[in-house]
Amino acid sequence: MSYVWRSSAAGARVARMSLAPFSWLFGAIVARRNAGFDRRARHGELAVAALPALSVGNLTVGGTGKTPVASWFVSRLRDGGASPALVLRGYGDDEWRVHGLLTPGVPVVVAPVRAVGLVTARSKQCDCAVLDDAFQHRQVARTEDVVLVSADAWREPLRLLPSGPYREPLGSLNRASVAVITVKAASAETVQAVRAAIRRAAPAVPIAQLRLAPGGVRLAATIAGSAPSVPRELQHDMEWLRGREMLLVSAIADPDAFGRQMEAAGAVVRHHAVFPDHHAFVAGDVSDIVARAGPSVVVVCTLKDAVKLVPLWPRAGAALWYVSQTVVVEQGAEILEQVVARVLAARRATTPTAG
């Protein structure tokens, strides 16, 4: 569906027009569903969470950086003395594995029903939780709702499913604790357009801004080991990519932003093998990738893809490297600290022995 949602080609425009009535119907269903949850919330009828929970979600189908941002909040809660869990639906077989690598030692609970996941987290002696992708999962109450809006994926006009990637309209940000603009390679003008649109749709909601920056290059085979550190020769800073010919591999929601990041680092992108988001790679995919790369082209993927590719990658042929995203707070640090502080306060209130 990415072609239909993003392309300016005539075929994509016709497809969007033909799907528009279904988007109107979808919007009506979403509005009715949210009205029901709003009514239940006013009457205190939502399920009481087993633990104080911070939800990291978005309005679209993927592509906003939820995984690194959720892990960042987990780290901030740990810094505050908490014992958090990370609770997620577990769509595909990559998300929970990536979280395990980004936040080692933190319980990762896969639970489509988040209320059940929070009970499981409590049984693991956790005293709070970060819910990955739970803004639309409203059956259980949460302490904070952080909603991400990607500047890189920003396209106007905003369209609801199926003619566009939006699960909810921008006005749904009014129930968020904070709206967070995430930026990989978007221009300053686009970021400002996103900020202005959020301010119009949800004027009372505070806005923060995070940059998802490439955090260096590592040999993908290292994620299969258990060593706490990676040898120097198996990892490089982004400068290592400058001038190198590479083949990019990605099965993520916004592959274009990943490609622009690599080009900004100075890499010479010869080809970008793009697969659907959460694609389950098979041996044939890997054979094609290795054949395209040849002996002299560097193969680079995301961490989300590396956890699936490593078990299939041949010993012979090009080495597979991955780039992981790091979170850099550009604006609104105090807003995000207040979000963390409120979760920590709720944790102390519900767990008197917590420090």
Q: What is the CATH topology of the domain spanning 2-206+332-350?
A: Rossmann fold (3.40.50)
How high is the mean pLDDT of the chain? 92
**Structural domain spans, the chain:** 2-206+332-350, 213-327
Q: Count Cβ atoms below 10 Å from residue 114 Cβ, excluding itself.
A: 28
Sign of the Cα torsion 182, 186, 188, 191 reads negative
- pLDDT tens, residue by residue, 312-323: 999 887 889 999
- pLDDT tens, residue by residue, 198-240: 999 999 999 999 999 999 999 998 886 544 455 556 899 999 9
Give residues with Cβ within 8 angstroms of 189, minimum separation 6.
none
Q: 264 near 247, Cβ under 8 Å?
A: no
Residue recorded with tokens 């040849």:
294
Low-confidence residues in the chain, pLDDT < 70: 92-93, 224-233, 351-355
C-alpha 325/C-alpha 320 separation (Å) is 17
Burial of 141 (0-12, 13-18, 19+ CB in 10 A): middle
- pLDDT tens, residue by residue, 43-77: 989 889 999 999 999 999 988 899 999 999 999 99
